[in-house]
Structure 1
Amino acid sequence: MSTDHRTGTASLRLTSESGETLAHRDVRVRQVRHALEFGCAAFEVAQAGEDYQQLWLDLFDTATLPVYWGRYEPERGATRRDDLMTAARWFAERDVRLKGHPLVWHTVKAPWVDALALEEAEALLRGRVRREVGDFAGLITTWDAINEVVIMPRFTNEPDGVPNAITRLCAQKGRVEMVRLAVEEARSVGTTPRLVLNDFDLGPEYEQLIEEVLAAGIEIDAIGLQSHMHQGFRGEEQLWEISDRFARFGLPLHWTETTLVSGDLMPAEITDLNDHVVASWPSTPEGEARQADEIVRQYTTLVEHPAVESITYWGMGDAGAWLNAPAGLVRADGSAKPAYHALRDLVRGTWWLDPTTVRTDEDGRLPLAGFAGRYELELDARSAQVDLAPGDQALDVVL
């Protein structure tokens, strides 16, 4: 196993806008971001303090934003579009790629929909998908189109006891047609979003669903795989085996939600992670050392797998973490854990090109070699960006 498939080399030929060959010039080269997406759930970042924001931007280049129907439209017709738009633009201004999560899900759904007739609920759901994809076109370019479809038609864990409209709709239509609803409505807006089928079920039922979805001619762009490792690290062999198993469908793999705890592990007998409720779940020195070791092993394995296109850590900070687990890379007090530094040493160290100055030859050419991604070239007051792909290439650049 290696990361050779992630790297590229290029011969760049530099000319000015007037066509002059820029020979024997010193050009500053710096990497801007990776082609492989190093993402993080970023629900709190745009409103956080500058130190926290900088920690996030110094490590991640892809943000997942919350577009849960129940939180986005808590009352019918009253959306939080302006708040989400502000956050999306904040990231876009910093060249961060954006994903919305999720368009269709049976949890964190709009409770006011449950009381409606199923036909009306379906019409509203379809409209919700079109509205969000259309409103955020050009900003949010990737969506978890539908989330956790395997369990969707049989989901019963409703604290208020009210029948779930999304679950009932999925039971009526079937899983495949529910996926079709999400995907076709998202594509009907006329934009070109990248759509992910996402699930925490990494077993045969999810594989069968993917087979049926593809056989039905439904066009998904990536397969989403979740792994909240609150009960312990899966290990390199299992991560590789899962990636291999889902790579057979010929679609990019997105590890959409991953976490590793830096405190006591959740008891192994817990089946549903949501059932583990404790008054306090602190991060510990021993747990932080374990988390740092495991995150290096996790990311190294996934970066080495050729089918993996995106890896998202599910929340940088402990404050407000899912299930109050100490799964963040930053403590509640804002200080970075060893896992943060360990991961950054990979993403912005081992797998990153440090800024450097390169002199062009007599033909205005300079070599570029590094991990596939976006690079910026600076000469005097001029600059240009180039996308380095894996393998060898020759590129013309106008500065």
Structure 2
Amino acid sequence: MSDHPTTPATVASAAVADRDVAHRTRTRTVQVLDRSGTPLAGSSVTVEQTAHDLGFGCIGFDAVYRAGRRLAGTPAAPGEDELFDRLDALWFDLFNTATLPFYWGTFEPQEGHPRTAALRAAAEHYVSRGARVKGHPLVWHTVAPQWLVPKPDDEVLRLLRARVERDASEFAGLVDTWDAINEVVIMPVFTKDDNAVTRVAKTVGRVGMVRLAFEEARAANPSATLLLNDFDMSADYEHLIEECLAAGIQIDALGLQSHMHQGTWGKEKTLDVLERFGRFGLPIHFTEITLMSGDHMPKHLDDLNDHQVESWPSTPEGLERQKQDAVELYTTLVADPHVQAITYWGMSDHGMWLNAPGGLVFADGTPKPSYDALHGLIRGQWWLAPTAVTTDAEGRVQVSGLPGRYAVVVGDQRTEVVVGEDEHEAVVTLA
């Protein structure tokens, strides 16, 4: 070792100099040793980022559809596989976290026959390529099974507990993040359909339903991250959180939905929401983001599902607005230290909820300006591309950027190191 310590060269992503996200950046020193354990001084190494720790997500519903079709032996429609392959490539080039649909009514349309195989195949599709998977949701009154309705309340609660335990346990290791319960604020007063979950929620109460979901899921998968998720950004949701925490319920993260079909929130509202829900000191996941690339739906509608149209096209003005809105929203969210995950609700307009032009990609698989703009942030400005650097006299380099995994490449050897809260020097030894 040298008697005169040197300062190792630093390789840094542009995020280090980005005023909005610089507080998230971390630095770790990496020392490279040869086979004998001697520091590899003055050698050229390449450093590149391979994964973000921050969750940049999108739904993965197409993968479930494809898995179900294959399991059933149903042939693809002409051009369908080619389109899905194109969308899949775009997905993995931008996102690292997939949300999969576990709506009880469609997951188990016939009692005792859950679509476990299709969901497992979809989850494995993402995990095998390094992505994380979140399940949505374990308990929800909407899309609840109709076969549940005739059963007495005590049987409904028993089956609900069993459902949470079964699926949180069955998918442990593949799906370790869950919306444990969804839209509890409206759950006991929901009137759009006759469902057994709303019926029992009237008796058990909101906090009781949250406790049921969290306790059963926690027992089934103690290492899972469990969210309380809602679209209601009013004080009612804040009060529910307060009541649940006061009741001793362990909430791992707060889920905040932001479907902007009726108009973009804008930075002012986003900051207000972050401030009001950030006061709880819990991690925040923006779970369901939708931004329009066409006209917004009428503001007078209380339920977005009431807007039923056959055609809802993008417009030139809408495409530009969606791009600008996406950049402003993601930049604002990444700047907030409580935000740990940001999930966009729909890769493409193909099969988009309400036929809305809310995808980041057109129905034919062509990226919209919003996709390119987010790619420029997530895999550009906030990403360290392959960069050559020379080790110092003690074989060291410093890696700076947003927390995540980084590869150190020396010759034909590639070693991954984690840059995050661990400030201990990482050591790479050549084989």
TM-score (norm 1): 0.95
Q: Is contact 1:134–1:191 with CA below 8 Å preserved after alignment?
A: no
1:97 aligns with 2:165: no
- 1:364 is displaced (CA, Å) by 2.2
Alignment CA distance shift 1:379-1:122 (3 Å): same
Moved more, 118-127 or 40-49: 40-49
Alignment CA distance shift 1:205-1:396 (3 Å): same
Question: What is residue 205 of structure 1 aligned with on the other side?
Answer: 236
Question: What is residue 107 of structure 2 aligned with on the other side?
Answer: 72
- 1:295 is displaced (CA, Å) by 0.7
Question: What is residue 310 of structure 1 aligned with on the other side?
Answer: 341
Secondary structure of 2:385 counterpart:
coil
425, 428, 431: which one aligns with 1:395: 425
1:36 aligns with 2:71: no
CA distance in 2, matches of 1:16, 1:244: 50
Q: Is contact 1:384–1:397 with CA below 8 Å preserved after alignment?
A: no
- 1:16 is displaced (CA, Å) by 5.8
Larger radius of gyration: 2
Question: What is residue 318 of structure 2 aligned with on the other side?
Answer: 287
Secondary structure of 1:138 counterpart:
coil
CA distance in 1, matches of 2:139, 2:40: 52
Give 5+ residue unaligned stretches, structure 2: 1-18, 67-80
Give 5+ residue unaligned stretches, structure 1: none
CA distance in 1, matches of 2:319, 2:228: 32
CA distance in 2, matches of 1:206, 1:332: 35
Q: Is contact 1:315–1:321 with CA below 8 Å preserved after alignment?
A: yes
CA distances 1:320-354 after superposition (whole Å, capped 9, x unpaired): 11111000011111111111101111111111111
261, 269, 282: which one aligns with 1:230: 261
- 1:21 is displaced (CA, Å) by 3.4
Question: What is residue 6 of structure 2 aligned with on the other side?
Answer: none
Question: What is residue 354 of structure 1 aligned with on the other side?
Answer: 385
- How do 1:179-328 residues align onto structure 2 when only pairs under 5 Å count? 179-328=210-359
Question: What is residue 367 of structure 1 aligned with on the other side?
Answer: 398
- 1:45 is displaced (CA, Å) by 4.2
- How do 1:1-150 residues align onto structure 2 when only pairs under 5 Å count? 2-15=20-33, 19-45=37-63, 47=66, 49-150=84-185
CA distances 1:225-271 after superposition (whole Å, capped 9, x unpaired): 00101111111011011001100001011110011111111012112
TM-score (norm 2): 0.88
CA distance in 2, matches of 1:219, 1:316: 32
Between the two proteins, the alignment pairs up a number of residues equal to 394
Please tell me the residue identity of whatever aligns with 1:117. Answer: P
- 1:20 is displaced (CA, Å) by 4.6
CA distance in 2, matches of 1:368, 1:223: 31
CA distance in 2, matches of 1:144, 1:40: 14
CA distances 1:22-60 after superposition (whole Å, capped 9, x unpaired): 444332221112121111111114745322111111111
Q: Is contact 1:45–1:52 with CA below 8 Å preserved after alignment?
A: no
Identical aligned residues as a percent: 53
RMSD of the alignment, in Å?
1.6
Question: What is residue 190 of structure 2 aligned with on the other side?
Answer: 155
CA distance in 2, matches of 1:357, 1:36: 25
CA distance in 1, matches of 2:243, 2:40: 55
Please tell me the residue identity of whatever aligns with 1:5. Answer: H
CA distances 1:275-332 after superposition (whole Å, capped 9, x unpaired): 1111211112221111111111111111111211111000111011111100001111
- 1:357 is displaced (CA, Å) by 2.1
CA distance in 1, matches of 2:98, 2:339: 17
